[in-house]
Amino acid sequence: MFAILQGAWEWLAAIPHLTAYLIAAYTLYLLWIVLWIVLQKREPVATLSWVLSLAALPYAGLLIYYLLGPQKVKRQRLRRGRSRSGMDHYSSVCPPDSDCTELAKIAQSTTGFPPSTATDVAWLVDGSATYAAIIAAIASARDHVHVEYYIFNPDRTGTTLRDALVERARAGVKVRLLLDAVGSASVRQRFLRPLLEAGGEVAWFHPSQLLKPFKRPWLNMRTHRKIVVVDGRIAFTGGINVTDEEDEVLRADAYRDLHIRLEGHVVRSLQLVFVEDWIYATGHTHGAFKGQQLWPSDMPTRADGKIDAQVLVSGPDSSWEAIHRLQVAAIHEATERVWLVTPYFVPGEAARMALTSAALGGLDVRLLVPQMSDSKLVTYAARSYFDELLEAGVRIYEYGPRMLHTKAFLADDSVGIVGSANFDHRSFRLNFELSMMFRDRPLVGQLADLIEQELLDAQEVRFNRNRSLWRSRLPEAFARLTSPLL
């Protein structure tokens, strides 16, 4: 082996002007990389981070960027086609009523989903209560069950939910299961066979395209959404995936998380999100849903609901970063308090400025993050922002008993946002996310109570804390450099 390598080296060394050829090749590589990345028109910091990182990896960097670099997904045609499909109409014009606040207008302009209402909203804390509620709702299905998840593991929890879907499919209920090809990669055909044999349908979101020439793979753009819609009447969404890791009955170290059960007019919007994702993932038309009561005629109208609710979606199919934009706008509107709960905290400049400005202005600004998330790199990156926030007056808490996976936000006593989106670049730009915005004082009050309970099990971070150079400050500083890429 050594002789072969030595011979190859001698052969290369014998090539005339080899150094000049290598310099020219590297120059062309740099030029190609720079043009490709710059034309993406991303933030300058992210652009420079990619350029410098890939410049240090000649040629291999081209493959890395091809696999993991930013990509744009064109799905606006689905929204423009809503009126033709009979699903619903797309509009950027907010209804002319008192409920259409500035936040509601921003939400509709960036997502196309109008302000709506719910007749009932229930907070579901942790996996055990969430799975029980979902399975009970599935058991009541008479027409269809639509399920979309990022992580759906074939463990005890996943098997129980699959069996509930199989039972309904055998009863003649139309069951559709949409899974992310990366998050649910552990699911095999053998696990899905009972559902398929019962008449259920399964689709994969962004399966690998590595073997397809001239098509960039979708390794870095996932559906992070968690959606269950039963008969177009009951819906679930939030942050809880289908896995034993989120069931505190099965595991003492299960993630601490929050989910939502909804009824009312807003279920129409959640149904529409699933339908669009299904059509996009399968390539089918709206005709695939023919004969189903996607929008029951006796569903509550917007006027019937007393809880103001609005669906927020974001993803690489839109440059507006709707969820990010809404949270920053809500921070600027707040006059009393801003509370943020997130497992991954890697803020952009706009969000960081909004949080520190609110704290400097005397508002009660609190940030609750896990003491140690499931990614050390993200944990260190998050801590690199703590000193600036603490100096501005933000109170920071680290939740210790378990891994905190809740994604919640509240501004004053009137605005609450809960869903799948973390407070980081990946959620704001790369993943397909879904959150719910509520503008209802009693419901937001309940959310505030839930957050206060979590704060009791968290330790407040002090500004003058002692931190080791090698174990804290340096890792945090280097992790922060990767923030635009996280």
User: Which listed residue (88, 126, 180, 231) is catalytic?
Assistant: 231
Per-residue DSSP letter, 463: T
Contact 318, 394 (CB under 8 A): no
User: Which listed residue (247, 412, 424, 440) is catalytic?
Assistant: 412
Strands 458-460, 395-399: pairing is antiparallel
Q: What is the Cα 253 distance to its own chain's centre?
A: 23
User: Which listed residue (259, 286, 407, 425) is catalytic?
Assistant: 407
User: Which listed residue (144, 146, 226, 286) is catalytic?
Assistant: 226
The number of C-alpha atoms within 13 Å of 368 and in the hemisphere containing its C-beta is 27
In the sheet where 408-411 sits, what is the strand order? 116-118, 307-314, 433-438, 415-419, 408-411, 337-341, 364-370, 395-399, 458-460
Give CA separation, 257 vs 129, 176, 248, 253, 382, in Å: 11, 25, 10, 12, 19
As a whole number of angstroms, the distance between CA 352 and CA 415 comes to: 19
User: Which listed residue (206, 259, 324, 405) is catalytic?
Assistant: 405
CA 411-454-180 angle, to 5 degrees, is: 80
Place of tokens 């907070």: 123
The number of C-alpha atoms within 13 Å of 351 and in the hemisphere containing its C-beta is 20
* 376 in active site: no
Give CA separation, 383 vs 14, 468, 483, in Å: 52, 13, 12
In the sheet where 234-238 sits, what is the strand order? 120-125, 258-263, 234-238, 227-230, 144-149, 174-180, 201-205
Listed residue (345, 342, 375, 63) closest to 219, CA to CA: 63
* 265 in active site: no
Strands 395-399, 364-370: pairing is parallel
User: Which listed residue (224, 259, 265, 324) is catalytic?
Assistant: 224
* 206 in active site: no
* 407 in active site: yes
* 17 in active site: no
Contact 426, 486 (CB under 8 A): yes
* 324 in active site: no
Residue 40 CB partners (closer than 8 Å, separation 6+): 47, 69, 70, 72
H or E stretch covering 136: helix 126-139
For residue 244, which amino acid is it? D
* Residue positions annotated with a catalytic role: 224, 226, 231, 405, 407, 412
